[in-house]
Amino acid sequence: MKPPQGSEAREWPRWAPLLLMAVTAAIYANSLHGAWVYDDFTSVVPNESIRKAWPPWEAVYGYPSPKHFDRPVAAYSLALTWALSGYETWGHHLGSVLVHLLATLALYGLIRHALRLPAVAEVFAPAADALALAAALLWCVHPLGVACTSFIVQRAQSLMALFYLLTLYASVRAFTVRPPGVWMLLAVLACALGMGCKQDMVSAPVMVLFLDAVLVSGSLREALRRRWVLHLGLLACWIPLGFLVAYGGMPTIVEEAVDLAWTRAEYGRTQFGNIFFYLKLAAWPSGLSMQHYRPVAEGWLEVGLPAALVFGMLALTGWGLWRRRCWSLPMALFFMALAPSTSLFPTGEIADERRMYLPLAGVCVLAVGGIWYVLLRGSAESSRPRWKPMLAWLAVIALALLWSALTVRRNRIFENHAAFWRSVAEAYPDSPRGHNNLGIVLERLGQLPEAKACFEQAVKVGPEHAWANLNLANLLLREGRTEEALRHLEVARREPFLASRAGLHLNYGAALLQLGRLEEADRAIRRGLEVDPNHAGLRINLALLRIREECWDEARALLEETVAAHGGEAEAFAYLGWLHAREGRLADALPLLERACALKPQWDYALENRQRVAGMLIAQRADAHVRTGWERCGKGKLEEGLRELYYALRLAPDHALAKHYVSVARQKAEENMALDETEDPMKAVDLAAAFAVEGEWDEARRWAENALLLAKAAHDEKRAQTVRDRLALYEQKLAFPLPALDGGARP
């Protein structure tokens, strides 16, 4: 690539960073509205430790999960962006894009200054700015970077890469600047911060030593002799890293990926092929996916050939470092940045493209250097054909435009959680996990038919996939297809991890219970209680089993214990209420059923039983009023008896016996009125009350007015006032004053 001359050469470094900034902003602008996806929901969204950025020592715990403390710097960066936008994702995406931009600028500065170091200055210094811009540009726009830039939880990887590149940049500046103290301090500080981002930073001190030995000092011994303070300071950064690894609880295989767990041997031998898989994605980024499902390598051809090639590349890198060949440095960066995750220490994924974020920088440097060497190296500028530098820049620009378009398109998979997993399922249609996880997301969105189709596809391509079988079984249970669900549950039970989870035994026991296979259900439920003795669902199912067996006392005891220990289980309240109602304890049953309805307002079982029990309770109370009313009428206390009968009819308007007794009481009142020779106003009041209870308001008012005239004629003001009060009630179409709880007793 032809370097600019004169004033153009002075302006080049000034606008190059601006170009990188503009390009980064352009290709990642559509990522700012990306949603929370996948591990964001376990490491970021529920993480209480990042809710506030001050004091900082309280914000560095609990990342990458609430149980671990091994990435404090990455955790604090999330706390800062949380302070910016909280649950809104735009601030977190903005922070990740800023990290990517700074890493791009750090790579640009590193290459510019590294190519001016003594060992390569004569050859590369004239083209240093152009080579730095081209390599940084290609690295910035490569779609592999999306895995760490648009995926919020993976900021630990990009932040580690930023501090890794800053460590190299500051060290390179320290090689040439006098005095080097400030740059040495910055290098050590960047290295220490990188160790607090991710364990992949471990190789940074060694990489600085290689840079020094190859490009400046001439040997490792001379590099250590000249700059022992710098190298010792960088090596000292392993101390905090060791503390974080030893005491931070560094996770290996996460629970969510248990179906992808491997032995160290399986994981290690597969990584040889993965290295070439990563190189293929770097050179030709087709088939990118946020989850790669690489099969475990088996046999000499799948293991031996890639291993031989990898060891050959390592040997070539080692020879190049020993012979001080500059091309060996980006190769060394590639291998050392990949080594921590691509080795014998299993992680949750056997292959993951985010691991290529930093190693990709070495690949881009080699690619740009290769283009420069093939087209421009070895020819004098005066005699160089003009088409050569133009062709070189056209190649870089075309590649950058292509990769930029792919990056913009890849950002769209973060628009929502379903789009994220749909992209995985489309990339690996023969892998059950992508279909299964897409189904989980769709189920949470309420799209049950689509979710079921995903689970069925997952089971189709992976018949033994435990999680897919379990999820499909759960949907089938909701549809009442118990026999079919049971077959899938039996497959899920073969997975040791799932077999250790109480939830599987809960569903399996429930299915057996529905099918009437009580002995098998009892064994399944008891197996689940061995795993979790206090599991509410299992205790409820055991109570249902005891109900089926008519062991009423044991069932009641189980439900009472569950209600006492788990106040939010609607099923426990509902079934205990049913038991009380069965025993005739309606007053005890109704509050329990009311509580069940409050916890699950749309649950038909609780609603129907509450209505039934309330109706039974009302009928019970109405019967009590009828009995009391008839007893008092029989004793000649017509007013008191009619009052009780009126209350009975208020509770149960169609109560036939109450209506009959009211009719009998009215006839008795009429007889009393006909035989009355003393003109007692209360006889007329009784007859008025009988008509009022029957709803004959005109007759009730006529007899009440007669009673009022009789009371006035007898100068009995007390009885006159009683009659006036009764007339006021009749105007309201009420026979007697209502008790305070009358309205609340009705269903």
pLDDT, mean of residues 631-657: 84
CA 719 to chain centre: 74
Measuring CA to CA, which residue among 650, 722, 647 is closest to residue 688? 722
Measuring CA to CA, which residue among 319, 328, 327, 331 is closest to residue 279? 331
Model pLDDT, residue 443: 92
Residue 449: asked if its preceding bond is cis (omega within 30°), the reply is: no
For 125, list phi and psi in degrees, rounded to 5: -55, -45
Name the band, by pLDDT with cuts 50, 70 and 90, for residue 739: low
Measuring CA to CA, which residue among 677, 702, 679, 678 is closest to residue 687? 702
pLDDT greater than 90 at residue 28:
yes
Name the band, by pLDDT with cuts 50, 70 and 90, for residue 744: very low
Q: What is the pLDDT of residues 176-207, one digit of tens each?
A: 888 899 999 999 999 999 999 988 899 999 99
Model pLDDT, residue 250: 47
Q: What is the pLDDT of residues 110-127, one digit of tens each?
A: 999 999 998 988 888 888
Name the band, by pLDDT with cuts 50, 70 and 90, for residue 533: confident
Q: What is the pLDDT of residues 566-580, one digit of tens each?
A: 777 888 898 888 888
- Strand, helix or coil for residue 248: coil
CATH number of the domain at 616-731, please?
A: 1.25.40
- Strand, helix or coil for residue 63: strand
Confirm whether 419-566 and 616-731 share one CATH topology: yes
Name the band, by pLDDT with cuts 50, 70 and 90, for residue 746: very low
Model pLDDT, residue 376: 62
CA 254 to chain centre: 14
Q: What are the counts of helices (DSSP H) followed by strands (DSSP E) for the chain?
A: 36, 0
pLDDT, mean of residues 305-323: 94
pLDDT, mean of residues 279-299: 88
Model pLDDT, residue 111: 95
Model pLDDT, residue 292: 86
C-alpha 28/C-alpha 434 separation (Å) is: 25
pLDDT, mean of residues 23-29: 96
Name the band, by pLDDT with cuts 50, 70 and 90, for residue 62: low
Q: What is the pLDDT of residues 98-114, one digit of tens each?
A: 999 999 999 999 999 99
- Strand, helix or coil for residue 403: helix
Higher-confidence position of 96 and 263: 96
| Sign of the alpha-carbon dihedral angle for 255, 258, 263, 266 | negative
pLDDT, mean of residues 2-28: 72
CATH class of residue range 419-566: mainly alpha
What six digits make up the tokens of 616?
A: 């039974």
- The residue type found at 274 is N
Name the band, by pLDDT with cuts 50, 70 and 90, for residue 745: very low
C-alpha 357/C-alpha 99 separation (Å) is: 12
pLDDT, mean of residues 641-668: 85
Name the band, by pLDDT with cuts 50, 70 and 90, for residue 5: very low
Q: What is the pLDDT of residues 466-510, one digit of tens each?
A: 999 999 999 998 888 999 999 999 998 888 888 888 888 888 888
Cβ atoms < 10 Å from Cβ of 3: 17
Name the band, by pLDDT with cuts 50, 70 and 90, for residue 677: low
**CB-based burial of residue 508 (10 Å sphere; 0-12 exposed, 13-18 middle, 19+ buried)?**
buried
Higher-confidence position of 182 and 593: 182
pLDDT, mean of residues 549-565: 88
Model pLDDT, residue 678: 61
Cβ atoms < 10 Å from Cβ of 515: 14
Model pLDDT, residue 685: 83
Higher-confidence position of 684 and 468: 468
Domain boundaries, the chain: 6-405, 419-566, 616-731
C-alpha 735/C-alpha 109 separation (Å) is: 96
User: How big is the chain by its Cα radius of gyration, in Å?
Assistant: 41
- Given phi > 0 = left and psi -120 to 50 = alpha, else beta, which region is 584? left
Tell me the CA end-to-end span of the chain in Å, nearest whole number.
87
8-12, 309-313, 393-397, 613-617: which range is least confident on average? 8-12
Of the spans 135-144, 688-697, 707-716, which averages the highest pLDDT? 135-144
Helix (H) or strand (E) holding 356, with range, is: none
pLDDT greater than 50 at residue 229:
yes
Q: What is the pLDDT of residues 234-254, one digit of tens each?
A: 999 999 988 888 776 544 433
Sheet strands (E) in 366-424: none
pLDDT greater than 90 at residue 23:
yes
Q: Cα dist. 254→148, 261, 338 in Å?
A: 19, 9, 20
Which residues face 63 on adjacent strands?
Answer: 69
pLDDT, mean of residues 144-157: 93
Model pLDDT, residue 15: 87
What six digits make up the tokens of 506?
A: 């809960």
Work out the mean pLDDT of the chain and round it to a whole number.
Answer: 86
Q: Cα dist. 464→258, 315, 432, 467, 491 in Å?
A: 14, 42, 10, 9, 6
Q: What is the pLDDT of residues 316-375, one digit of tens each?
A: 999 999 999 999 999 999 999 998 888 755 666 788 889 999 999 999 999 998 888 777
Which residues face 69 on adjacent strands?
Answer: 63
Kindly state the percentage of the chain with pLDDT values over 70: 91
- Which residues are CB-contacts of 654 (< 8 A; sequence separation ≥ 6)? none
C-alpha 414/C-alpha 631 separation (Å) is: 77
Model pLDDT, residue 385: 63
pTM, entire model: 0.77
- Which residues are CB-contacts of 159 (< 8 A; sequence separation ≥ 6)? 73, 74, 77, 99, 194, 197, 198
- Which residues are CB-contacts of 632 (< 8 A; sequence separation ≥ 6)? 638, 640, 641, 644
C-alpha 388/C-alpha 398 separation (Å) is: 15
